[in-house]
Structures are given as structure tokens and as C-alpha cells.
Amino acid sequence: MTPIADIAVVGGSGFYEFLEDAEEVKVDTPFGAPSDPVAVGEVGGKRVAFLPRHGRDHRFPPHKIPYRANMWALRSLGVRRIVAPTAVGSLTPSYGPGTLVVPDQLVDRTRNRVQTFFDEGACHVPFADPYCPALRAHEIATARETGWVPAGSGTLVVIEGPRFSTRAESLWFAAQGWTLVGMTGHPEAVLARELAMCYAPLALVTDTDAGVEEGEGVTQAEVFEVFAANTKRLRDLVAKVVASLPPDRDDDDLCAHALDGISFKLPGG
């Protein structure tokens, strides 16, 4: 099959549209339908797929997103690199609302999510560095070129949701040295790795978590308000990241070789 798109953008809360003059592609997967039909269009001369992880009407809460179907659908269209803008809370006062962070680590605190395609056999993909180093570096460099100076590291702890954290949970997360909290970064990242796709988030801080500052705690309205105020800037940055990506991955790309030496069988394979 000729690849339909090599690059994908997976949009988070408030990031429901990206491409103009896009063609919608419906994809069947062994795991059901993805969150939405995949939109395919062009950015900077590159064929790009776009998928809002919550659905364009935000009908999927974080614990109900069809993560496996989403990643499988993108991979089946030819996607090998994924840029993932996402809304996150901050666990440190130094990352206030509006801060852009390109995290380098992830902690999984989810409970009930299927986080693998490998339901049979011993198939253990390397995940010490959960995000593609090359794609992260490209995102950071591109953001700096646009004048949006990102935090180039950080640990994202992913909670089950859909509720926000208690103050005690926030204080505990921060005490571990973790800097960001979100609800959708896992299992998305590891599923991408299991399909040998490069994956890197662009995390926009929308709030300080409940244990960081005194007050009423995080509200959904606050998250959506801050994200909406930065949506155009973030969309423009994502477009620049995509347009300036090199045509192909490097031969020594970590993610491309994630399955080397592993004996496995994927559904339908």
C-alpha cells in the first residue's frame, strides 16, 4: 500500500482542527474505530494526517479514548512520526499557564487502560526514553525559532481521570520531582513505540495543579480558556514543526528500530 501520510498530528483538548481542504479517511482496525475519521491534507508540501484524540466534539473522556484504534489507524495509513499537542497541568510554580514544555520522561499512574498491542508472547519494547529524541529536538529548535521558548525537559505523570487530582496527590507528584500532570499521554506514547513510530508531545500548561497554589483547584473551564487563548499560536507552531521535518527518519532512529530482535505477532499479522 502506498503511504497516504508519513506524519500525523494528534490533537488534544481544544485542538480539534488543523488541516484545510482535508480529505476524510475512514479506517477499520482490529480494535474498532478511531476517535474520528482521519483527516489527510498537506502542510509545507508534506502529506499529513490529523486525528483529534477526544473526537472533534470531545465525546471521548480520557479513560475512554480508543488509543489502540487511533495508533493502529495512523500506522496503517503510512504514518511514522507523530506530533502530539496536549493540555497539561503544572506541578511547579516555574511552569505557569501558557508555558510550552517538551517533556522527556513519563510516569504512568493510570489504572484501567489497555497499553499494548501484544496480547500473546513475551514482547517487551524498550521504553526507557518514551519520546523520540530526534523529534523532540526538532520541536524544541522550531519553537525557539518562532520565539516561543519551551522548557526542553520535564516529567509528565499521566493519571486515569477524568477527575482532576486532589491536593495531596498533587503534592505527592511534585515531591517526586515530576513537573507536569495530564490524562492522555499514556498509553498513546507506548502504543506508538510498539508500532515503531516516532512520537513526541508539545505540552501546553493550562493551569497549576491543586497542590501547587492555594485556591479552588483546577476547573475544566480554566483549562479550556487558557488552551483557547493559545490555540492559534500552538497550531502555527505545529504547522512549522511538520513543514520543517526532514523527508525521512535517520537510519539510526531509536523508534524505527524499537522492534528489532523482538519476536512478535500483531493482530492480523
Contacts of 161 (CB under 8 A, 6+ apart): 61, 62, 63, 183
Q: What is the pLDDT of residues 88-113, one digit of tens each?
A: 999 998 898 889 999 999 999 999 99
Cell representation of residue 237:
507552531
Q: Would you call 263 exposed, middle or buried from its count of C-beta atoms within 10 A (0-12, 13-18, 19+)?
A: exposed
Q: Is 195 within a domain?
A: yes
**Known catalytic residue: 260?**
no
49: domain CATH number is 3.40.50.1580
Tell me how crowded residue 98 is: count the other CB atoms within 10 A of its CB. 14
At 1, the pLDDT band (50, 70, 90 cuts) reads low
Mean pLDDT, the chain, rounded, equals 89
Residue of 6, 36, 209, 253 marked catalytic: 209
Confidence of residue 16 (pLDDT cuts 50, 70, 90): low
Domain span including residue 214: 7-257
2 assigned to some structural domain: no
Q: Looking at the domain assignment, is residue 132 inside a domain?
A: yes
**Mean pLDDT within 158-184:** 94
Q: Is residue 16 part of a domain?
A: yes
Provide the pLDDT for residue 261: 82
Q: Is residue 262 part of a domain?
A: no
How many domains does the structure of the chain reveal? 1
Active site (annotated) includes residue 108: no
Of residues 18 and 150, which shows the higher confidence score? 150
> Per-residue pLDDT for 175 more than 50?
yes
Task: Specify if 265 maps to a domain.
Answer: no
The rounded Cα 97 to chain-centroid distance in angstroms is 19
Question: For residue 1, is it within any domain?
Answer: no
Asked if residue 268 is part of any domain, the answer here is no
Catalytic one of 21, 207, 250, 251: 207
Cβ atoms < 10 Å from Cβ of 260: 8
